[in-house]
Amino acid sequence: MKIPFINMLAFVSAIMTPVLAMAQNNLDDISCTRGGLQNAVDLYVAAQASGDISNMPLPSGMGYWENEQRIDINSGLINKPMQIDHHMSLLDQDSCQTFTEVIVNDAEEPYVLGTRMRVNHDKIAEIEIVWTTTDYWLFDAEAYLNYSSSENWGPIRAAERASRGELVSAANAYLDAFLEGKIDLVPWGFPCVRVEGGAYTGRGSPDDSCEVGVPAGVNIANRRFVVDEVIGSVVVYCTFGAGGPNGGSGSADTHLFRVENGRLRYVHTLTHLLMSDFQGGGAD
């Protein structure tokens, strides 16, 4: 018996609709698996690009911070549409967190963002952004884009991956060196290059070092970590300086590290500090 074409279409539609719906549901799932965390990142990147957070699964009690300050998400930078030129992310299954470096090389309004999120079951419970733009510490979005997009932040072979503890230890050793200048305790790699706001320490040489310009006497305080062993990376949310006797808590900062063979390979730094404030001693 021949089935009329119109009935065949209806039959196929009836079969495919739940399948497509299931596929869409799986696509939108948020969880602490790598796939679930990546889904959260994808929703964030889409929201940041469009300036529309309506598709993000945000609970009523979610927390939103910019540059160490708790603010209303509805007045946050996340609502500003941006043409994103490059982004890369860390996925931390152990702590249910993500980190995304976002580069916006817009001639009128350039930005580099470091965005941390924490997932709670199927919701994005926290969003924290450290952002920099024109006139902030060593800012150069075009240079940042050129250097970051040319680096290899891909997966490291399982047998060669550093443990979570080793990644955190490497980051702490680097940041501890700022206070007392004990750079000999840092697992320096060669070559190692640092992108700081947009400034770059590399010269394309096999002996490039990240030791260049590490100051002494600065307490890198209030540290929080997002770790991705798969790509050998850890980012530290912190303050550049612990504040002073007259108040202040230091400048909001992120330090992102890539570790290869137990040694530092890349360091990315964002500091929410106006160049004019630094020159005037306003970092406290």
Using one digit for the tens of pLDDT, what is the confidence trace for 80-89?
Answer: 999 999 999 9
Tally of domains in the chain: 2
End position of a domain, from candidates 150, 168, 190: 150
**Total Cβ atoms within 10 A of residue 181:** 13
Question: Measured between alpha carbons, how far is 87 from 71 in angstroms, rounded to an integer?
Answer: 24
Q: Distances in Å between the alpha carbon of 252 and those of 34, 88, 156, 271?
A: 27, 20, 30, 6
Across the range 123-145, mean pLDDT stands at 98
Question: Measured between alpha carbons, how far is 260 from 188 in angstroms, rounded to an integer?
Answer: 10
Q: Is the pLDDT of residue 178 over 80?
A: yes
End position of a domain, from candidates 97, 132, 150: 150
135 found inside a domain: yes
- pLDDT (tens digit, 9 = 90+) per residue, 40-59? 999 999 999 999 999 999 99
284 found inside a domain: no
Q: Is the pLDDT of residue 265 over 50?
A: yes
167 found inside a domain: yes
**Are 138 and 171 in a shared domain?**
no
Across the range 243-258, mean pLDDT stands at 84
3-state SS class at 56: coil
Question: Measured between alpha carbons, how far is 122 from 226 in angstroms, rounded to an integer?
Answer: 19
Amino acid (one-letter) located at 92: D
> pLDDT class for 276, splitting at 50, 70, 90?
very high
Query: What is the extent of the structural domain holding 143?
Result: 27-150
Across the range 195-205, mean pLDDT stands at 93
Amino acid (one-letter) located at 27: L
Q: Is the pLDDT of residue 3 over 70?
A: no
* CA atoms within 13 Å, Cβ hemisphere of 178: 15
End position of a domain, from candidates 129, 150, 171: 150
The enclosing domain of 260 has a CATH number of 3.10.450.50
6 found inside a domain: no
**Total Cβ atoms within 10 A of residue 209:** 17
User: What is the reported pTM?
Assistant: 0.87
214 found inside a domain: yes
91: which 2 tokens? 């996925």
5 found inside a domain: no
